[in-house]
Amino acid sequence: MTTTQNTDQAHLTDEQRLQQVREVVADLGHLVGGRLVPGDGTFTVTAPWLGAPLAECPSAGMGDLDAAVAAAKAAQPAWAADEPARVRALHAIADAIEANAELLGTVLAAETGKPIRIATGEPMGAAAHVRYHADEVVPTETLIDDDEQTVLVVHEPIGVVAAITPWNGPLLMLANKIAAALRVGNTVVAKPSPYTPLASLLFGRIVQDLVPPGVINVLAGGDELGVAMTQHVDVSMVSFTGSIRAGKAIMQQSADGLRRLQLELGGNDAAVVLPDVDVQAIAPRIYRGAFALSGQICAAVKRLYVHESIAEELVEALTAIARTHTPGTPWDPETTMGPSTTRPQFEYVQELVDDAVAAGATVVTGGSAPDRDGFFLEPTILTGVDNGIRVVDEEQFGPVLPVMTFTDIDEVLERVNATDYGLGGSVWTRDTALALDLARRFESGSTWINRHPHVGAEVPFGGVKLSGLGREGGPRSYEGFSEPRTISILKEN
């Protein structure tokens, strides 16, 4: 797809868009042992911007899973033995993702509902993550090296990794997991969410010839396929991103084989705003932190605690920004926010808003679904809420921000930490020394100062408490995707 074609595409109708994506999907299959296979049926993927069917996606059966795991197991020793080939392949994958960014972005926009500009940025982000891993060195640690002895820790691959991903950033998460796993010398069987499987299958087709058969396998299917992956006797590790509910289940499912686990789970991040900030300067950053991707980011700002003295001004500034945002289809150039990606999520977010209103919340702006097809919600700001109300206590994962006030910093930190979630959090102040002190007191895997969130290929990211196990991003990714092995040498005199 060239840029010229893309410009022409601005005039396509919704029906033509659907047709275009269906033509791409017609050529998709599961990548198994280097071949695209049809699976044993199909399931329907919904276009969230229409609330209507988008395409039929091939569905992988248990036979496909066995074949994929067998291919991954067979390919793994040779893959692990050839580091230069791994580096070359990761660079080739990054190049191929970039070269296909428009096509991948079109499919992502159709299945997630993200505005096309943002959807096309996702492959570019995915390519950057893959390139990071291509260029990164898997560390060898020298713990002791003296006249008598040398003690090293080397990082060796684990084997076949099951990579299971959610629907909010399908390609970014898939590419990141695959790249980190492959860099160490593992091979991968990946499964995207059944809500958004299409770009991941397209990724499989794009990388089909860039790695030896069996090194990357991609299967589309429902939760039951994920369950079978985590219980497969020849899967040695599960790298999972998704809900806490599924993360807990995966821990139990994987117990029998004592599979290695990396779990990137849900969050309910708090942002705490101190009275010394420039309210007008930070309001757009807080707004983006809460409402980017219609709030469907694991580390979005999901609870806002503002010092009482500036709360009114900040709520007004956030409300003014919210009123400039119009939900719309991915293709409309005026669109700045997309829909909820799934119907259950759409209904859940509405349920939380209704519950808060019933409990006495004030809807400062938004609060309802615009009168149009698709899973659209207005950006919603609530006041008059507090801990103990569901929209504050639960991960709403939608375009809703409950705003609360505080006067005492110790008291607000208690409210911030009174949760089982522990993914991210932020402090907003000009007092860096105070912010550093407060950041250490947040019970979260990442705490940001004057930003929220900050993630990237080189930045370790993950949760404490029920928000997960292990870290993705940066060289620490390799701690999760490898077995640390100790080598101890007694030197001869």
- Residue 256's CB is within 10 A of a number of other CB atoms, namely 10
Strands (E) across 158-269 are located at 160-164, 187-191, 216-218, 237-241, 260-264
Q: Which is nearer to ligand NAD, 174 or 403 (CB)?
A: 174
CA angle at residue 76 from 478 to 251, to 5 degrees?
55
CB 476 within 8 A of CB 139: no
Nearest to 213 by CA among 34, 37, 82, 92: 34
Q: Which is nearer to ligand NAD, 89 or 298 (CB)?
A: 298
Q: Which is nearer to ligand NAD, 225 or 274 (CB)?
A: 225
Beta strand 400-406 with 380-383 is parallel
CB 300 within 8 A of CB 396: no
Least distance between ligand NAD and beta carbon 107 (Å):
17
Least distance between ligand NAD and beta carbon 146 (Å):
41
Least distance between ligand NAD and beta carbon 263 (Å):
8
DSSP bridge pairs for 420: none
Least distance between ligand NAD and beta carbon 402 (Å):
17
CB 269 within 8 A of CB 300: yes
Least distance between ligand NAD and beta carbon 250 (Å):
5
CA angle at residue 358 from 354 to 362, to 5 degrees?
85
End-to-end CA gap in the chain = 67
Nearest to 286 by CA among 428, 415, 413, 405: 428
Q: Which is nearer to ligand NAD, 168 or 444 (CB)?
A: 168
Least distance between ligand NAD and beta carbon 493 (Å):
51
CB 177 within 8 A of CB 187: no
Q: Enter the tokens of residue 292.
A: 């980017």
Which of 102, 122, 136, 264 is an active site residue? 264
Nearest to 353 by CA among 383, 315, 387, 327: 383
Amino acid making up residue 179: A
Taking the C-alpha atoms of residue 234 and residue 66, their distance in angstroms, rounded to an integer, is 9
Name 1's Cβ contacts closer than 8 Å, sequence gap at least 6. Answer: 102, 103, 106
Taking the C-alpha atoms of residue 158 and residue 236, their distance in angstroms, rounded to an integer, is 6
Say how far residue 418 (Cα) sits from the centre of its chain: 24
- Which residue's entry shows tokens 């695209």? 36
Q: Which is nearer to ligand NAD, 184 or 220 (CB)?
A: 220
Least distance between ligand NAD and beta carbon 214 (Å):
21
Q: Which is nearer to ligand NAD, 47 or 283 (CB)?
A: 47
Q: Which is nearer to ligand NAD, 167 or 406 (CB)?
A: 167
Q: Which is nearer to ligand NAD, 383 or 467 (CB)?
A: 467
Q: Is position 347 annotated as part of the catalytic site?
A: no
Q: Which is nearer to ligand NAD, 192 or 480 (CB)?
A: 192
| Shortest-Cβ-distance residue relative to ligand NAD | 226
Taking the C-alpha atoms of residue 326 and residue 286, their distance in angstroms, rounded to an integer, is 18
Least distance between ligand NAD and beta carbon 407 (Å):
31
> What is the binding site for ligand NAD (CB under 6 A)?
164-168, 191-194, 222-223, 226-227, 230, 241-243, 246, 249-250, 253, 264-267, 298, 395, 397, 423, 463, 468
CB 220 within 8 A of CB 36: no
Beta strand 187-191 with 160-164 is parallel
CB 45 within 8 A of CB 53: yes
Burial pattern 153-181, b for ≥16 Cβ within 10 A else e, equals eebebbbbbbbbbbbbbbbbbbbbbbbbb
Taking the C-alpha atoms of residue 152 and residue 142, their distance in angstroms, rounded to an integer, is 5
Active-site positions read 264
